[in-house]
Structure 1
Amino acid sequence: MSWSLVLSFQNYDLATGASGPAGFENYARLVQDPNVLSSLGNTFIYAAMAVPLDIAFALLLASLLNGVKRASGFFRVVYYLPKMTPGVATAAVFLLLLNGNSGAINKFLGLFGIDGPQWLADPAWMKPSIVLMSLWGVGGTTVILLAALQAVPRELYEAAATDGANRVQQFFHITIPMISPTLFFLVIVNTIGALQVFDQAYLLFYRDGNSSVPDAARFYGVYLYQQAFQQFNFGPAAAMAWLLFAIIMVITVIQIKVGNRFVHYEGNDRP
């Protein structure tokens, strides 16, 4: 990290190893480069879609697993296994699933008379396709939420049921408050991960070294990689990395300041 900070203020040539001071020129180039702003916008949109869906889907799976009595260990392993799948293998599967002409997803939609989109060719559907691929690895979040659900005292549900609360009321007034610290943690961690998205976008759209991908599929992490390891602009790439670090830091601080108001800590009278 220290060396990358030094590089961000230098003109560094990877081929010769020569470097010279650049001052704030690399950071000034980021403001002037339209691809930096567009890639940041795409990354923010992706994060806004992926983080809530990831947590909501994981909470649904964790709730189902929490109700399983027999073979619960088997089902936990089954739901976690996709997390262990190599990214290249996952991308290969989703390239087939998301094919606009012969993909399994569009064929399934066709059974209901729905004309599926061109997931990987239509700019409007490129980010949703990456979100779908990211949901494949939701097992890690599911396991964390399952542990939180199993830690909720059963007496609270029994008392609520005695008072006439139904399942929905119990979920929003008992489950959500009791697992709110875990949800808070996952929102922060998943947001950090989403803002650094790279492998899903690269494997789906840049796998053949193609650099003429539509702007809708240009993400900040991919553009940083192109600057550093394809165009060998290590100074601007290092500046991009530190800009992303600063953005993530600011967003995390805001999340902590705002989110703490809605988190219930057991034994504390106030959130």
Structure 2
Amino acid sequence: MPVRERRRRETVAGYTFLSPWLLGFVLLTAGPMIASLYLSFTSYDLFSDPEWIGTENYTKLFADERFRHSVIVTLGYVVLATPLKLAAALAVAVLLNGARRGQGFYRSAFYAPSLIGASVSIAIVWKALFGTEGAVDQIGQFFGWNSGGWVGNPSLSMPMLVLLSVWQFGAPMVIFLAGLKQVPAEIHEAALVDGASRTRRFWSITLPMISPVLFFNLILETIHAFQIFNSAYVISGGNGSPAGSTLFYTLYLYMRGFADLRMGYASAMAWLLAIVVAVLTLIMFRTSKSWVHYGGDQS
């Protein structure tokens, strides 16, 4: 068989095996993205044909007071939840890194909440725990602090959702554990001989050597924080209450798109969120050169 014919058959076979993924990508990812980009420049309510209005949706966004409020709420959540979740994951990973009895059980127990994910069921349980006369409220009353329930308190609703995010630190914890296993024990032993304390060894050896893993987790958790929806929808009743303290960006997007049927407006919000996340990710990649150290990097 000629070489050209054999290569052609191999190419056809390769694309045949790839066709299910390519078909899914076109129909379920690329196609809807292109459609939403077009709809972001239109006025569309699901029941009539889209009407082209140019950049009117985007200009209306910045004049929308509730939109600006949702941006502030979301940024506050990202700034609080992301570092706290990573800190909890890294702390537990360091504790579980050494060899000890029951290590597998503890790893599974700490990872278990992440298996649930941002499900509706766990949000309902969380709402019951932190609601009026919930377990957390009753504990507070026992110690003389009556919060009236975290769910209905505008100053406590955000910390409640941050706690829910931090509680599910299992996924980054496992990634940190994998990174800690790659730190050579010889370096720690040499530093110990030189009199370096445990804290000094962590900041000067462990943290720089797992900085690529830390950077990877930072990117993922920042993106996940911007996407918070299920827990906020369930706990707030779908309207961002109390007093707009849980009016996250994605929740407001849902309200405009599926409650008010302003699909063009919601599409503009979705693309603006995608652009902001992409820009923040690019900035993190640009700034990572000063603190992320890869193996073999001589700088």
**TM bucket, shorter chain:** over 0.9
Gaps of 5+ in 2: 1-32
Match in the other structure for 2:193: 162
One-letter amino acid matched to 1:171: F
How many residue pairs get aligned? The number is: 266
Conserved 8 A contact 2:151-2:157: yes
Assess, with a 3 A threshold, how the Cα gap between structure 1 residues 215 and 48 changes in structure 2: closer, same or farther.
same
Match in the other structure for 2:77: 46
Give the Å deviation of 1:66.
0.9
Assess, with a 3 A threshold, how the Cα gap between structure 1 residues 183 and 212 changes in structure 2: closer, same or farther.
closer
Between the aligned partners of 1:97 and 1:155, the Cα distance in structure 2 is 47
Q: Does 1:248 align with 2:280?
A: no
Larger mean CA deviation between 231-240 and 190-199 belongs to 190-199
Match in the other structure for 2:289: 260
Assess, with a 3 A threshold, how the Cα gap between structure 1 residues 261 and 108 changes in structure 2: closer, same or farther.
same
Q: How does 1:101-116 map to 2 (within 5 A)?
A: 101-110=132-141, 112-116=143-147
Match in the other structure for 2:161: 130
Match in the other structure for 1:88: 120
Conserved 8 A contact 1:4-1:238: yes
Higher RCO, 1 or 2 (CA under 8 Å, sep at least 6)?
1
Q: Which has the larger radius of gyration?
A: 2
One-letter amino acid matched to 1:26: N
User: TM-score, normalised on structure 2?
Assistant: 0.84
Assess, with a 3 A threshold, how the Cα gap between structure 1 residues 212 and 197 changes in structure 2: closer, same or farther.
closer
User: TM-score, normalised on structure 1?
Assistant: 0.92
Assess, with a 3 A threshold, how the Cα gap between structure 1 residues 147 and 110 changes in structure 2: closer, same or farther.
farther
Task: Note the aligned Cα RMSD (angstroms).
Answer: 1.8
Conserved 8 A contact 1:134-1:200: no
One-letter amino acid matched to 2:285: I
Q: Deviations over 1:136-185 (max 9, x none)?
A: 22111111111111111111110110000111111111110011111111
Match in the other structure for 2:264: 235
Conserved 8 A contact 1:13-1:232: yes
Conserved 8 A contact 1:7-1:238: yes
Shift >6 Å, 4+ stretches: none
Assess, with a 3 A threshold, how the Cα gap between structure 1 residues 84 and 120 changes in structure 2: closer, same or farther.
same
Conserved 8 A contact 2:240-2:247: no
Between the aligned partners of 1:149 and 1:107, the Cα distance in structure 2 is 40
Gaps of 5+ in 1: none
Q: Percent identity?
A: 41
